Amino acid sequence: MSQKVNIRVYHECKGQHTHEFPQILVPLQEAMKICVGQMEYDVTPQELCFIPAGMLHECNYYGKLLAINIADSVSDNGEVVMISHPLIVSMRGQIVQLVDLIQAELKQNPDSTAVGYLYKYLYSKLMENCAAPSIQYINEYYHLPITVDQLAKIENYNVTYYCDWFKQQTGLSPSFYLRNTRISRAKELLTTTNFSVMEIAVMVGYSSNSTFTRAFHNVTGMTPKAYRECPCFKKKAKII
């Protein structure tokens, strides 16, 4: 995990600036007014504000403010889709729990590598909150045959416009997003279950072992078998 995550608590945030890293801001005392890009937002203590890397923002806030900064890209060999636009997300359920866990982990161990995994999971939850219907469809039904025509119809767009729109939303084409979603799930199954490579291939939407292996290698640089056997990825396998 290459991400370096640090958390800071500020007592004010002011001026116009950008960061080379994505940032999550959580006002802890009172609502915060912030301009991100061309939009202005009022963020309450029950919400978090996600600011993509490199996006100009301006804030004149005087109060306790939690900032979660990511020193490097959250993307791991293109596996995670980048959020390219600001988000205001309600702090509830798993999102609250994850923010609390990240704070607790860093207080206990500032150099903890577990924080990178917690942040990655939080990032996936943010994606779920902001995802358009066709993106949610991929996330839920990645194991089924999915065509660009199907996805475009979900959004009521023609295929050409949809592909351009999708890339603006995610930074990837629909086919690359689908592939990366499948491989992400396959990696989890390889390291936590005893299913064969062929069984996992079918479970994540591939009809042949060769097609699955080629896609897996393109994303990770490794074969599924090598990934499963690598000590750095090994977890305790469970039988499902």
Q: What is the pLDDT along the chain (240 residues), one digit of tens a residue?
A: 344 556 677 777 888 888 888 888 888 888 898 988 778 888 888 888 888 888 889 988 888 888 887 655 444 444 444 566 677 877 777 788 887 887 787 777 766 667 767 777 777 777 666 668 898 889 889 999 999 999 999 999 999 999 998 887 777 899 999 999 999 899 989 998 999 999 999 999 999 999 999 999 999 999 999 999 987 765 544 444
Residues 117 and 18 in one domain: yes
Model-level pTM? Answer: 0.55
* Structural domain contains residue 240: no
Domain termination residue (choose one: 130, 161, 180): 130
Q: What is the DSSP string of 114-136?
A: HHHHHHHHHHHHHHHHH--HHHH
Whether 190 and 212 have beta carbons less than 8 Å apart is answered as: no
Domain extent at residue 151? 133-229
Residues 60 and 83 in one domain: yes
Residues 114 and 39 in one domain: yes
Residues 126 and 64 in one domain: yes
